[in-house]
């Protein structure tokens, strides 16, 4: 980090590890669209993905493996880890040891201890380790946050958040004998987002109750889960995630003393990115009126425009944090917080009981 705040015309050179869905649909286009960042290299050993990188990002080098990246570490300043979950910690550690900043896709680490170790290493080498939590910039989340600031529903009793899909074919990584040891499953996958959103909106949780299921016969880890969080401030968060939902429920809702806000439909940025959309372009993240949520009470509701989603804001903040020493958009402590809850989810689901969390400031 320069920390000086002085302008610098030289872009931060970025190396992306992995070009699956996360790398191709999220990280690469977001980096390419961010002023001050340059997608300088992509690590992938897959021939088809290599060809796609060369077509979409002709100025980026394609490296066959991480060894080639570490051998050329001096050519880069920031590494993004978007490889399988089990690689997140070793690749993040290697990046930091090479004096590179690192962004790590969710889950940031399989365990709380590993997340803390990465955070401690980042502090020692004076580099940034930043968890990737792009869904803090979903339009529905931004709208919920604005409604809370406006006190639009009164005292909030309950927050509900659902991320439900129907996958005809299970994710291959969720069907292997060692899937649990590799930090796979819907709680690590979708739960990392939903838990982080709830904690960001309502603060720390004191108690966790969870139920998890393996619905598809090929699954070796959960593909459906329910998590209840009791926040210190009294709000109850009910989080639902499923890969086997024939009809999804409301994406997000706030239930309060004066009114409720209910919103259906997933944020459209992922679909736009997968279709080749340019983040930050005109009307990026806008939602059609028919997808807006409604606010009010029975027989007296009105639509609330969904705020524009803004995934590009994450990497703009990363660039600023590296360049000027501004706060990182997501902290290692945030990842530690959701991983502590994931640990409690496992225990609660196994023993079917409420689990109390250690008190934090």
Assess whether pLDDT exceeds 50 at residue 94: yes
Kindly state whether residues 54 and 148 are assigned to the same domain. Answer: no
Kindly state whether residues 176 and 141 are assigned to the same domain. Answer: yes
Determine the number of helices (DSSP H) and then strands (DSSP E) in the chain: 12, 15
- pLDDT tens by residue, 136-167: 999 999 999 999 999 999 999 999 999 999 99
Q: Answer yes or no: is 320 within a domain.
A: no
Q: How far is 269 from 285, CA to CA, in rounded Å?
A: 6
Q: Where among 82, 108, 132 does a domain terminate?
A: 132
Assess whether pLDDT exceeds 80 at residue 3: no
Q: How far is 45 from 2, CA to CA, in rounded Å?
A: 33
Assess whether pLDDT exceeds 60 at residue 361: no
Assess whether pLDDT exceeds 90 at residue 266: yes
Q: Answer yes or no: is 68 within a domain.
A: yes
Q: How far is 163 from 184, CA to CA, in rounded Å?
A: 17
- pLDDT tens by residue, 107-132: 999 999 999 999 999 999 999 999 99
Coil, helix or strand for 18? coil
Q: Would you state the structure tokens that stand for residue 292, as one six-digit string?
A: 């807006």
Which pLDDT score is estimated for 9?
75
Q: How far is 89 from 114, CA to CA, in rounded Å?
A: 7
What's the domain count of the chain? 2
- pLDDT tens by residue, 15-55: 999 999 999 999 999 999 999 999 999 999 999 999 999 99
Domain coverage including residue 49: 12-132
Q: What is the CATH number of the domain that holds 153?
A: 3.30.360.10
Mean pLDDT of 274-287: 94
Kindly state whether residues 74 and 168 are assigned to the same domain. Answer: no
Q: pLDDT averaged over the chain?
A: 96
Assess whether pLDDT exceeds 90 at residue 187: yes
Decide: 314 and 113 in contact? Cβ < 8 Å. Answer: no
Kindly state whether residues 194 and 57 are assigned to the same domain. Answer: no
């Amino acid at each position: 980090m320069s920390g000086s705040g002085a302008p610098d015309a030289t872009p931060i050179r970025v190396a992306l590890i992995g070009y699956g869905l996360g790398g191709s649909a999220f990280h690469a286009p977001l980096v390419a669209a961010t002023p001050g960042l340059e997608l300088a290299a992509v690590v992938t050993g897959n021939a088809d993905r290599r060809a796609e990188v060369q077509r979409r990002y002709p100025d980026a080098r394609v490296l066959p493996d991480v060894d080639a990246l570490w051998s050329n570490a001096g050519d880069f300043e920031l590494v993004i880890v978007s490889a399988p979950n089990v690689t997140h910690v070793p690749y993040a550690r290697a990046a930091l040891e090479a004096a590179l900043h690192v962004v790590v896709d969710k889950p940031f680490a399989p365990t709380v201890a590993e997340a803390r170790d990465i955070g401690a290493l980042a502090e020692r080498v004076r580099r940034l380790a930043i968890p990737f939590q792009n869904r803090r910039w979903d339009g529905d989340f931004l709208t919920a946050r604005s409604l809370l600031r406006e006190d639009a529903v009164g005292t909030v009793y309950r927050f509900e958040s659902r991320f439900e899909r129907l996958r005809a074919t299970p994710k291959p990584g969720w069907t292997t004998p060692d899937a649990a040891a590799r930090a796979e499953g819907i709680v690590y996958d979708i739960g990392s987002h939903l838990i982080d959103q709830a904690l960001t909106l309502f603060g720390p949780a004191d108690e966790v109750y969870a139920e998890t299921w393996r619905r598809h016969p090929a699954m070796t880890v959960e593909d459906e889960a329910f998590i209840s969080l009791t926040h210190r401030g009294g709000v109850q968060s009910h989080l639902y995630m499923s890969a086997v939902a024939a009809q999804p429920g409301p994406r997000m809702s706030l239930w309060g003393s004066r009114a409720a806000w209910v919103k259906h439909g997933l944020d459209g940025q992922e679909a736009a990115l997968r279709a080749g959309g340019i983040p930050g372009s005109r009307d990026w993240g806008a939602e059609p009126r028919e997808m807006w949520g409604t606010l009010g009470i029975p027989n007296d509701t009105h639509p609330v425009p969904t705020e524009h989603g803004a995934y590009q804001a994450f990497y703009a903040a990363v660039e600023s944090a590296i360049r000027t020493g501004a706060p990182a958009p997501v902290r290692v402590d945030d990842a530690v917080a959701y991983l502590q809850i994931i640990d409690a989810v496992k225990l609660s689901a196994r023993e079917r009981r409420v689990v109390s969390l250690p008190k934090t400031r």
